[in-house]
Amino acid sequence: MEMRAIYAECLDRLMAQDKHVVLLDADLAKASGTIKLREKYYGTQIFDCGVAEQNMASIAAGLSSYGFKPWIESFTPFASRRICDQIAISIAYAKQNVKIVGTDPGISAELNGGTHMSMEDIGVLRSIPELVIFEPVDGVQLRAAMPVLNDYPGAVYVRLFRKELPDVFPADYKFDLFKADVLKEGRDLSIFVSGMLTKDVLDAAETLEKDGVSCDVINIHTIKPIDREAVLASAKKTGAVLTVENHNVIGGLHSAVLEALAKEKIPVCAVGVMDRFGEVGKLPYLREAIGLTKENIIRTAKEAVTLK
């Protein structure tokens, strides 16, 4: 099942339960998978703002001030850098309860190419005080997270991969918005990963194990506030760290982990977007071009261990 279908199914449930849950769109309901919800909710709980994301963000803040629980959605670049000031002032500074969903993060924008391929959204938003940043890794986690996000009384940015992702978590997964999830335990290296690359990291860890490198694999689903305890505990245990993300290594997960480990003498290597823009292409091409491959994860993991 596609992530957007799960997202829409969860929103449907939340809107059916509470008429104060509302969804605002900026002409991308089809892409976000929420167009079908309009049959039930358009004009009462769903509104299309047209191609005007800034207005959408501030309208959501106004609705929140009136007691509503607004969700807004667009492609990642238009749900972050385009509306950065509206997120900062109308939403975060004003302490409004708005959930901001950015779809197609990083290279997953594929054929829309560089203009739609946000390598910087986490970096742009992470420096806005009090904003929570969440990136789900699979449908199980997203399903568990949606009601928690809806109930969280503050602003959250949700970085949502739209298409299908392989399941990483078991059906009985227990979700905590502020706790990282240990997916695999090891001795030699800590790999912190967010979003769509999590399954690749698990596959890489299997190969690494055979090559004699035993890895902790930890999913950082909430990049801000990062679970410092989990990061510190694992990094101190293994003594070497690798971060893996579909985002610029400047400003995203790599930076967040480095900040958590600033006082530790532990090497930290990165697999991510090496400060470059995106380009058009399908995922297999883009993974190779940008360096987000299982092979690169394995190579960089081994390098991290040698730096101990």
Nearest to 151 by CA among 177, 133, 172, 179: 177
In the sheet that 189-193 helps form, which strands lie side by side, from edge to edge?
181-184, 215-219, 189-193, 241-248, 268-273
Query: Residue 42, interface with other proteins (CB under 8 A)?
Result: no
Q: Which of 15, 21, 37, 59 binds other proteins (CB under 8 A)?
A: 59
Q: For residue 280, how many C-alpha atoms fall within 13 Å in the half-sphere facing its CB?
A: 2
The answer to the question of residue 32 lying near other proteins (CB under 8 A) is: no
- Phi first, then psi, for residue 292 (nearest 5°) are -105, 55
Q: Which of 8, 61, 109, 235 binds other proteins (CB under 8 A)?
A: 61
> Taking CB under 8 A as the rule, which mask of x and - marks residues 169-198 in contact with other proteins?
------------------------------
Binding of other proteins at residue 94 (CB under 8 A)?
A: yes
Nearest-angstrom CA–CA distance, 176 and 180: 8
As measured in angstroms, the least distance from the Cβ of 42 to other proteins is 12
By CB under 8 A, residue 150 contacts other proteins = no
Identity of the residue, 93 or 152, whose beta carbon is nearer to other proteins in the bound complex: 93
Q: 171: Cβ–Cβ under 8 A, 6 or more apart, which residues?
A: 140
Residue 115 contacts other proteins per CB under 8 A: no
- Contact between 54 and other proteins (CB under 8 A)? yes
The identity of residue 152, as a single letter, is: Y
Contact residues toward other proteins (CB under 8 A) are 22, 44, 47, 49-50, 52, 54-55, 57-68, 85-86, 88-90, 93-95
